[in-house]
């Protein structure tokens, strides 16, 4: 759901962000390490997504690039399909790596 500013409504339980990319050639999901913001998790998630929106759309149907919004238990509470530019911005900004677990 999008609000009047074109920015997706963020679930108020937002605690962390996890990037996910679909590798079509291997037919698999590539998950990145989740990142949270210790001082204020909700605000950190919100601000980071606002900055990413400058680089590309946060609501792209059928995109191979996603951002999972996680709660405190690392359960997915929201999923945003994003443009590649926004995904790459988030990957650099969050300094996250592929989760090898």
- Map out the domains of the chain as residue ranges: 16-94
Position 56 scores a pLDDT of: 77
Phi, psi of 34 (to 5 degrees): -65, 150
Per-residue pLDDT at 33 exceeds 70: yes
The full length of the chain comes to: 101
Rounded distance, CA 70 to CA 85, Å? 22
* Average per-residue pLDDT for the chain: 88
Q: Lowest-pLDDT range, 3-7, 37-41, 50-54, 87-91?
A: 3-7
Position 3 scores a pLDDT of: 44
- 90 neighbors 32 (Cβ within 8 angstroms): no
CA angle, 2 then 46 then 65, to 5°: 70
Model-level pTM greater than 0.75?
Answer: yes
Position 19 scores a pLDDT of: 97
Q: What is the pLDDT of residues 47-90, one digit of tens each?
A: 999 988 888 778 888 899 999 999 999 999 999 999 999 999 99
């Amino acid at each position: 759901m999008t609000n009047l500013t074109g920015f997706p409504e963020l679930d108020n339980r937002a605690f962390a962000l996890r990037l996910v990319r679909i590798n079509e050639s291997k037919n698999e999901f590539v998950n990145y390490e989740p990142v949270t913001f210790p001082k204020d998790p909700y605000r950190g998630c919100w601000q980071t997504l606002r900055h990413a929106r400058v680089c590309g759309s946060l609501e792209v149907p059928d995109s191979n690039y996603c951002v999972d919004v996680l709660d405190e238990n690392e359960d997915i509470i929201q999923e945003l399909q994003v443009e590649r530019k926004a995904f790459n911005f988030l990957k650099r900004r969050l300094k996250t790596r592929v989760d090898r677990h």
